[in-house]
Amino acid sequence: MMTRVSVSIELATWITARIANYPAEAPENLRWHSPHVARHGALPLYAGWTETIGIRPDGEFVRWSTEGEFDGTRSVEERSWVLTALVVGAERYAELRPLLPVRGPDAVDCPCRAIPLFVSGQVVCGECGGLGWLPADRVTSRRGEPREPRRVGWYHRLFGG
């Protein structure tokens, strides 16, 4: 479970300032998040269809409903959603890049790299979270045997390949 990352005092201070100044600093098309940012004390990183994922100054990842499906915040427990939020957030905020995992020497390219929709960034891969690679332990079985790479089934059903 990856719901919190370690943040430096400097980064925590930076996140706090972004939250406080969000109404003035956010791009105009994202300012509608301002009441949620103030209420939940989190900087939005990834806006989905009905929920937004944000990071708090202490490094906790939380999500909130933008459609009134639930009140307050909930923890982000799925690794892929934390990675997605970090990848998308680091594109907007370079200060968050140190929080991204570092690609290890045994990592492999994610199969999503062969799909233009993922490469373009229009759709984020649920397997790698948008990193474009998978760590070695995600491509081997518990017995250490190679796993068959996952195909992005819905894409292949729609577009072939």
* pLDDT confidence band for 128 (50 / 70 / 90): confident
Q: What is the pLDDT of residues 61-77, one digit of tens each?
A: 999 998 888 888 999 98
Q: Say yes or no to pLDDT of 144 above 80.
A: no
Check whether residue 118 and residue 89 sit in a common domain.
no
pLDDT higher than threshold 50 for residue 118: yes
Average of pLDDT values for 136-145?
57
Q: How far is CA 105 from the centre of its chain?
A: 23
Q: What is the pLDDT of residue 17?
A: 97
93 shares its domain with 113? no
* Boundary-marking domain end, from 47, 70, 99: 99
Residue 143 pLDDT greater than 80, yes or no: no
pLDDT at residue number 141: 45
- Evaluate whether residue 92 is within a structural domain: yes
Do 156 and 133 form a contact (C-beta atoms < 8 A)? no
Query: Based on the domain organization, do 152 and 131 belong to the same domain?
Result: yes
Please check whether residues 22 and 70 belong to one and the same domain.
yes
Q: Which domain holds residue 44?
A: 9-99
One domain, residues 94 and 112: no
Burial of 70 (0-12, 13-18, 19+ CB in 10 A): exposed
Query: Within this chain, do residues 87 and 122 fall inside the same structural domain, yes or no?
Result: no
Please check whether residue 3 lies inside any domain of the structure: no
- What gap in Å lies between CA 45 and CA 82, rounded to an integer? 10
Regarding whether 130 and 84 lie in a shared domain, the answer is: no
6-28 residue pLDDT tens: 999 999 999 999 999 999 999 89
Tens-digit pLDDT profile for residues 42-99: 999 998 888 999 999 999 999 999 888 888 899 998 888 899 999 999 999 999 999 9
**For residues 54 and 86, what is the distance between their CA atoms, to the nearest angstrom?**
9
Instruction: Please give the Cα distance from 150 to 34 (Å, whole number).
Output: 38
> What are 128's two structure tokens?
């790698």
Residue closest to 134 by CA, chosen among 143, 146, 121: 146
